[in-house]
Amino acid sequence: MTRVFSGMQPSGEPHLGNLLGAWVNWVGMQDRADCIYCVVDLHAITSPNEHDPATLRQRTVDLATGMLAVGVDPERSVLFVQSHLHEHAECAWLLNCVTSFGELRKQPQFKEKSEGRESVSAGLFDYPVLQAADILLYHADEVPVGEDQRHHIELARDIGQRFNHRFGDVFALPKAIHPTAAARVMDLQDPTTKMSKSQSSEKGIVRVLDEAKKIEKKFKSAVTDSAADIRYDRDEKPGVSNLLEIFAAVTGREIDGLAAEYDGRGYGAFKGAVAEAVVERLRPVQERYAELTDDRGEVARVLERGAEKARAIAAPTLASAQEAMGLLPRGEA
């Protein structure tokens, strides 16, 4: 069976973009693949903005809770926290030694995140190698990620290939899977930029846990344009097009059908309908989230079982890599 691995950083409150762009995809993949999903807290501490330890801990639990609430099924898939397995950091060290300084220096995401900063951590520089370890430890075939992660997955593939070439076949070579373009959710206040936990203003970003009233308010004040027609045109009508995409994604309907139904009825009615559909889509997720929050023991148990299942795959892979590289097994001489 195809093995899928993906991870998300516990670095902010999840929003509609995370849900429609990543999680819906992750949940769907469970029907056809063996899926492993990870809260990558070791990646979150590489952020150039200093993190608060208590907040990180809370966000780690919250993110795992969110993944369960949208439908990551711990009976079929593995859900775990990256730092619960020492194998990730350890494997990253081995991979560091087959990765060149030059290929990390030119990673677009590193360049972007470090630009204009006086000091960045070695962890930020090394971020893609830890990500490669995440993926390679599980022999993942497919890695569902946003477009911005493409280079990281290519690098993981290059590192795995180089390792195999030098030391023998240890790692499977992964490929990135990108969700359809329709799953790109734009900021409600600036529909030409992605909805993002770091860049969007609170008005432009719909949180998975926002209450109905707040969601309605955010959609009512979404930026559109001065014409009144409702049609899909990313260049000329980015605001309306973004709303149509969100509408289609949360209802499972076609964009054309929705545009035809609402054209001529005014932006007010249209925005109200989109807001209502989003509220309906989020309702069961929020209900499940509240149940899980009431029973924190449940999330802890899921993560504990997830860590065990993950280790059963990762530990033998790490051992093979160590052995292939010539590290002396303990107890031998």
Q: Which amino acids are annotated catalytic?
A: 113, 194, 197
Which residue from 318, 286, 287, 322 is spatially nearest to 14, judged by alpha carbons? 286
The answer to the question of residue 150 lying near ligand AMP (CB under 6 A) is: no
d(CA 58, CA 81): 13
- Among 46, 131, 241, 317, which residue sits at the site for ligand TRP (rule: CB under 6 A)? 131
- Among 4, 40, 273, 275, which residue sits at the site for ligand TRP (rule: CB under 6 A)? 40
d(CA 213, CA 315): 47
Amino acid, res. 65: T
- Among 3, 4, 10, 17, which residue sits at the site for ligand AMP (rule: CB under 6 A)? 17
Q: Which is nearer to ligand AMP, 170 or 277 (CB)?
A: 277
- CB of 40: closest distance to ligand TRP in angstroms? 4
- CB of 324: closest distance to ligand AMP in angstroms? 31
Main-chain phi, psi angles of 32, to 5 degrees: -125, 0
Per CB under 6 A, the segment of 104-112, 179-187, 207-215, 303-311 that binds ligand AMP is: 179-187
- CB of 155: closest distance to ligand AMP in angstroms? 15
Per CB under 6 A, the segment of 96-104, 191-199, 267-275, 280-288 that binds ligand AMP is: 191-199
Alpha-carbon distances, residue 326 vs 23, 74, 82, 323 (angstroms):
40, 36, 26, 5
Name the token pair of 239.
Answer: 């605001």
Per CB under 6 A, the segment of 52-60, 116-124, 190-198, 266-274 that binds ligand AMP is: 190-198
Which residue from 10, 30, 31, 28 is spatially nearest to 20, judged by alpha carbons? 28
- CB of 25: closest distance to ligand AMP in angstroms? 8
The answer to the question of residue 46 lying near ligand TRP (CB under 6 A) is: no
Give the CB-nearest residue to ligand TRP.
Answer: 7
- CB of 135: closest distance to ligand TRP in angstroms? 5
Across the beta sheet with 34-39, what order do the strands follow? 78-81, 34-39, 3-8, 142-144, 175-177
The answer to the question of residue 107 lying near ligand TRP (CB under 6 A) is: no
Give the CB-nearest residue to ligand AMP.
Answer: 21
- Among 19, 27, 33, 43, which residue sits at the site for ligand TRP (rule: CB under 6 A)? 43
Residue 74: partners with Cβ closer than 8 Å, 6 or more residues away = 68, 302, 305, 306
d(CA 20, CA 285): 13
The total number of residues shown for the chain amounts to 333
d(CA 288, CA 310): 25
- Among 39, 72, 143, 303, which residue sits at the site for ligand TRP (rule: CB under 6 A)? 143
Which residues of this chain interact with ligand TRP, rule CB under 6 A? 5-9, 40, 43, 131, 134-135, 143, 145, 149, 152
